[in-house]
Structure 1
Amino acid sequence: MSVEPEIKEGNIEVEEVETYSQWKDGWRRLRKNKMAMIGLGITLVVIFVAIFAPLLAPHDPYYSPVMEEGRVELSMSGPSLSYPLGTDRLGRDILSRIIYGTRISLIVGVITQLIALVIGITLGAIAGYYGGIIDDIISYFINVFLAFPFLLFAIAIMAAFQDPGIEQVFLALGLVTWPGLARIVRGEVMSLKEEEYIEAARSLGAKDFRIMTKHVIPNCLAPIIVTVTLGVAGAILAEAGLSFLGIGAQPPMPSWGLMLNAGRDYLRSDPRMMWFPGLAIMITVLGLNLFGDGLRDVLDPKMRD
């Protein structure tokens, strides 16, 4: 979008031109969405807590007086000035473990989506750009992976490992979440590869790899960003579920899922042991979903007014 200079009696008045940008326009639209801004605020707070966990946590999340002193009896205590949320059955500070659990959940969400991005964008772009038999083969594998229930497929992958842990969770969730991203990228690439600027790049002798990396994939960023944002929330929930079942993060790691698992025996007698980590999961996932829905509304042309 450009504006011609306006000439009046020898004086040239040039109007200031504001270059149209999808991202600037998206940010303006996002600021008008109150729920999306609330989600962004929650997400930023969660990221802040994860980064500065060592400074915010009042106690060492791994320290257990029961284990340190070799005692057998449990050491649960209610909220106090020293322990605002109380302690668990091993005497560990619940608040500190929730704060450090934020870091674990975000790491799982980010690394999982990075794995899904590498696989999903690569296969989706190849299938959409070349089509034909290559598209048929890749689409077949996408459909096979999507045919399995998400969590059950992740459990099956984790069961294949002899010693499950947080590293295996990265791989399992990454392998489970890439098909949805690949399908989105494939559809976007199929619609973009027929555009005139792609044909112009081909006519100038540009290689397929350069066309895909310089012209096609960058124009798919909007739906990719939305999918990844929502995918982080899904990965956090999945990690909590796997850890709750005992095939994800392993003790004494301060995972929210492990905290839920440890507190289930005290659901009636001391429900706070499940309430607080459950509330942390709910708030984090809610913030990411609100933010992701807002991004979808402002970046997806079909959702615009």
Structure 2
Amino acid sequence: MSRGRRRTMSQNTIQGNEVWKRLRKNKMAILGLFITVGLIIVALLAPIIAPYDPYEVDLSRALKAPMEDGHILGTDQLGRDQFSRLLYGARISLRVGIITQAISLVIGIIMGALAGYYGGRVDDVISYLINIFFAFPSLLFAIAIMATLGPGLNNVFIALGAVSWPGLARIVRGQVLQLKEQEYIEAIRALGGNDLRIILKHIIPNCLAPVIVTATLGVAGAILSEAGLSFLGLGAQPPEPSWGLMLAMGRTYVTSKTWLTIYPGLAIMITILGLNLLGDGLRDALDPRLKQ
């Protein structure tokens, strides 16, 4: 391994340790980290933890109250165990958040990097496109896309990914505008470095701090949007144990069988809270100047 590469790795390790030290001092960020890690563990171990098959219908045990007949959180109108469905719902929420943000990251980083690096007409066209997306409420835009593509979880990925990239692209564009004027970029360009190498190796890696924060907060937004789309019947379809779909199916009994809506609502609230706390903590840890 070359000396320069070892030096880079050592610097990255030192920076990572500094970020972790700052993050540990933020108690709310650590709480968000525990909630997020807990969500991941629950999603991965749902088949092991769940006491019942979340898809099994048994009308003889419909609408059982919590702790009745061995059902920790009761059952729904089809006799399906609520606790098991909540656990499997974490898998859907996590999948939506990760895939949606992956799509958003790819589109946002590419568009933002091109706009910031090349400027001129390229920047004008991409900025105009970003402004068009910002002119519409993102959830309404996603509903319009879903109405065109049809309901279903796979189409949720496409719809939410297509409407969530403009904010990330704007952040990357601003970072690239600053970085491309740095002396080391000019030196690389003078030594014959091509644009693709400069963008991929020297500019985008230095944009990762705000990108990580935006992506973390974006996962929370994607989970909330998926719950909203599923509640409206445009997202996950029965019998999928989506939290939003569970809320929609339980609203008929909202005053009499409150556990059908309270527990999915709490699951959504706690998940969003954890991801937002973690995102805010990462923002302060990655760039302490923002806190000041």
Q: Which residue identity is paired with 2:252?
A: D
- Alignment check: 8 A CA contact 2:62 2:78 kept: yes
Q: Which residue identity is paired with 1:202?
A: R
| Residue ranges of structure 1 left out of the alignment (5+ in a row) | 1-16, 67-72
Q: Does 1:97 align with 2:85?
A: yes
Q: Which residue identity is paired with 1:254?
A: P
| Residue ranges of structure 2 left out of the alignment (5+ in a row) | 1-9
Greater fraction of residues in helix: 2
Gap change, CA 1:77 and 1:155, over 3 Å in 2: same
Tell me the residue number matched to 1:297. 284
Question: Structure 2 length as normaliser, TM-score?
Answer: 0.94
Give me the whole-angstrom Cα distance separating, in 2, the residues matched to 1:302 and 1:274: 41
Shift in Å at residue 223 of structure 1?
Answer: 0.2
1:52 match: secondary structure:
helix
Instruction: Name the count of aligned residue pairs.
Output: 282
Question: Which of the two has higher C-alpha Rg?
Answer: 1
Q: Write the mapping of 1:1-305 to structure 2, written as runs, cut at 5 A.
A: 21-66=14-59, 75-80=62-67, 82-161=70-149, 163-305=150-292
Shift in Å at residue 303 of structure 1?
Answer: 1.4
Shift in Å at residue 76 of structure 1?
Answer: 1.2
Give me the whole-angstrom Cα distance separating, in 1, the residues matched to 2:235 and 2:143: 9
Give me the whole-angstrom Cα distance separating, in 2, the residues matched to 1:300 and 1:29: 10
Tell me the C-alpha RMSD between the 2 structures: 1.6
Give me the whole-angstrom Cα distance separating, in 2, the residues matched to 1:267 and 1:19: 52
Shift in Å at residue 20 of structure 1?
Answer: 7.7
Percent identity reads 64
Q: Which residue identity is paired with 2:77?
A: R
Deviations 1:68-123 (A, max 9, x none): xxxxx882111225210010000000000000000000000000000001100001
Runs of 4+ in 1 over 6 A off after TM superposition: 17-20
Give me the whole-angstrom Cα distance separating, in 2, the residues matched to 1:238 and 1:304: 28
Shift in Å at residue 184 of structure 1?
Answer: 0.4
Shift in Å at residue 19 of structure 1?
Answer: 8.3
1:89 match: secondary structure:
coil
Give me the whole-angstrom Cα distance separating, in 1, the residues matched to 2:201 and 2:193: 10
Gap change, CA 1:50 and 1:20, over 3 Å in 2: closer
Shift in Å at residue 210 of structure 1?
Answer: 0.3
- Alignment check: 8 A CA contact 2:156 2:235 kept: yes
